[in-house]
């Protein structure tokens, strides 16, 4: 499963780490994904959801 939220499709982004001497090296920012059991279309599935979507209630957790 990719490092992507199934609700908002938030994924990793890239950029540069910049040192004091202005040397740029590549780095990644990963989204805060949680692997939860969610009720999707009446079936329970294990999915990756970002914490922003969890907090907003955009996905229903399985009990």
Q: pLDDT tens string for the chain (63 positions)?
A: 689 999 999 999 999 999 999 999 999 999 999 999 999 999 999 999 999 999 999 999 998
* Per-residue pLDDT at 18: 98
User: How far, in Å, CA of 15 to CA of 25, rounded?
Assistant: 8
Please list, residue by residue across 37-46, b when 16 or more beta carbons sit within 10 angstroms of its beta carbon and e when fewer do: ebeeeeeeee
DSSP single-letter state for residue 7: T
Architecture of the domain spanning 1-63: Roll (2.30)
Q: What pLDDT was estimated at residue 30?
A: 96
- Position 31 scores a pLDDT of 96
Q: What is the pTM of this model?
A: 0.78
Amino acid 2: pLDDT: 82
């Amino acid at each position: 499963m990719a490092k992507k939220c199934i609700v908002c499709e938030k994924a990793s982004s890239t950029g540069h780490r910049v040192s004091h001497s202005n040397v740029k090296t590549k780095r990644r920012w990963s989204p805060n994904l949680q692997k939860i059991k969610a009720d999707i279309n009446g079936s329970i599935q294990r999915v990756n959801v970002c914490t922003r979507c969890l907090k907003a209630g955009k996905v229903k957790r399985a009990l």
